[in-house]
Structure 1
């Protein structure tokens, strides 16, 4: 499973996911870094079958209308600090991975995971 973490989320999240064994990049790792357009992020996601992890609802609109990116994890926690975000991912990562084996759009808040069909 491969991930692409969007600019609205910290690089530390991408590094955490890498440390757990997942092929993960952050938009800062791309040639245009955090200035990478959503269209280009979608293209990278599709080309490399990466799940986009974002807080940006523009990706939701794109996913619902044109089925891009490849797969989507929309983080709807509001503002939480990096340690809380990492703890949230640590607590839910195995469930997310299992769910992404059969689903393409998942939403994660501070207290729930919602699978959208």
Structure 2
């Protein structure tokens, strides 16, 4: 499963080269440089002239990953929280991305509050 919404793109699957190739097919651009950690799969897929390995330029993505794990329990590394099926994980991410947009949350805020009244 793949999803691309503005600057938020993901692919759900095992953490392997096959899954990363699916993501790469969506995000790759000829005129970009990609900064990653040293996971070997990145070097297998990303062209050498576009790939820089190191933590120096990965602060924003690491921050995003941390926020995702904080807000969605199923995204923590070890979890007992609900299903890990690809479909449910994909739907969870879609829901999270939707409500990360403050305008979307505000438009539904009354519905959320009403369930507690």
TM category, shorter: 0.3 to 0.5
User: Where is the strand percentage greater, Structure 1 or Structure 2?
Assistant: 1
User: Where is the helix percentage greater, Structure 1 or Structure 2?
Assistant: 2
Compute the TM-score of the two structures, normalised by the length of structure 2.
0.34
More relative contact order, 1 or 2 (CA 8 Å, 6+ apart): 1
The structure that has the greater radius of gyration is: 2
